[in-house]
Amino acid sequence: MACETSEEDVVSEYLVQNPQLAQWVDTLRTYCESNKQWAARREFILRNMEASSSTTTTTTTTPELGVPNGSNLDKLLSLSMVWANHVFLGCSYSQAVMDRIKEMGEGIVVADAPVHKTTKDGILARGKRSATTEGDADGAVKRARCGAAWPVSQKSGPRPQAPAEHQPFFNRLYKAVAWKLVSAGGFGPNLDHFEILRSCVESCKETLTSVFVPLKDIDGLPAGRTQKEGHVCEIRCQTVYMGTGYGRDEAAARAMASKEALKVFQGRKVTVKICRRRFKGRDVEDLMLLDEQPRSQGSPPALSYPFEAEQQEDASS
């Protein structure tokens, strides 16, 4: 009987045959990604590379590799992170974004992918299944056989040594942001805060993760905000929370979140710490990037919690 070859084997064999491409794509892996998460996101990037490099005639490419550069590469990497956040963390986005990533991820098989069953109050139960991202997400959840809800009392969160592991990267990022702001004439309201933050992060060989949620769906916001239309954006890098912003649309919310994140870099140093935050109605330990300024108010509620995926993997191993 002929041996079956998995999609992961096909991707690996393709990269062995294209060593330059393999070397390039490995630079896109983030510090916090597990082997399973990276293998899936890497396939997403490779499958959509050609389409991204041909979406506009003004896009530049790396000729020897045939991969997109500039804004199209940024968009592809952002969509790959959005897709991975949806598959592994259960994050939800606007319908247009969800439709886009489902189309781009069609045919990608993620073995033993977590299943997230949600209601208005949050995640109720999780299970494991072998699934593709094609088809309707709600229908897939209904067909999945979910196990018991994860116990709230179960310890979850970043490892105690995580701040020390992440600190060297954010020290480098602090220097990159400082030089960028100096060249831009200093921190101010008229800067493109997201572009500055994005370019500095990518100069340190990492990518930003942005999570968007409609403002009306957020619990625990100031009273005046919960009645307004708009979106909330949370920005992370290497699973470390950097800032939250509110805006009339996703772009405006991301700009405000980037501005809040850049404010942290105005002090003499930045520090990664484990702090308590609210996430879906419960207190959790989260990694946060802080400056030296005392804060009288707590941080905004978390829109995402990347450490739950690690908790699941530990439990299933």
CB atoms < 10 A from the CB of 238, how many?
A: 25
Domain positions in the chain: 7-143, 162-316
The DSSP code sequence of 126-179 is EEEEEEES-S-HHHHHHHS---PPPPTTS--S--TTHHHHHHHHHHHHHHHHHH
Q: Each residue of 14-66: pLDDT tens digit?
A: 777 777 878 888 888 776 677 888 888 888 888 888 776 654 433 334 444 45
For residue 226, give every residue at least 6 positions away whose Cβ sits within 8 Å of its Cβ, in sequence order, or none.
215, 216, 218
Q: Which CATH architecture has domain 162-316?
A: 2-Layer Sandwich (3.30)
Does the pLDDT value for residue 133 go beyond 60? no
Q: Which of 3, 47, 5 is nearest to 25 (CA)?
A: 47
N- to C-terminal Cα distance for the chain? 31
Tell me what the mean pLDDT of segment 183-197 comes to: 88
pTM above 0.75, yes or no: no
Q: Each residue of 95-132: pLDDT tens digit?
A: 888 889 999 988 888 877 776 554 444 433 333 333 33
